[in-house]
Copies of this chain bind each other. A is one copy, B any other.
Amino acid sequence: MTEIERKLDSNGIRPTAMRILIYKYMAEKNNALALTDVEQAFLKAERTTLYRTIKTFEEKGIVHQIDDGTGVLKYALCEPGCNCEIDRDLHLHFHCNSCDKTICLTQHKIPHINLPEGFMAEDANLVVKGICDSCSAY
């Protein structure tokens, strides 16, 4: 049993061949991925299978969904300390206007926002857009 198989198994996900491949693929990328990205990487696989695999990962808490404002949902593996199912891991996300990649800034938490009287915060989403480190390195 490999590292990945153990990871999936311990989260109540049956480690099928497809799931292991997708997990591995997501793990080796350091940016968030859209379903179409995964599709491109596994051209012979069914879109629905990829879709449901990612959804399963999400439900089981090993992947979180990111709305980066592009209109396409992105997904990224949860970092070791990420507790996105428990009380939502409020780290921010960065979307590069140049390379179009979206990445998790896991250690950058969303600052506390004080709201007007009567408003109660339960969750928050902060996306910063600009130029990423790779693209600004010229």
Interface residues in A, total, Cβ within 8 A: 34
Q: Are B122 and A115 interface neighbours, CB within 8 A? A: no
A69 at the interface (CB under 8 A from B): yes
In the bound assembly, the distance between CA atoms of A128 and B67 in angstroms comes to 13
A21 at the interface (CB under 8 A from B): no
Interface pairs (20), CB distance under 8 Å: A92-B113, A97-B123, A105-B115, A105-B116, A108-B116, A111-B111, A111-B113, A117-B133, A118-B133, A119-B130, A119-B131, A119-B136, A122-B129, A122-B130, A122-B131, A123-B129, A123-B130, A124-B128, A124-B129, A125-B129
Chain A: residues with CB nearer than 8 A to chain B?
67, 69, 71, 73, 92, 94, 97, 105, 108, 110-111, 113, 115-134, 136-137
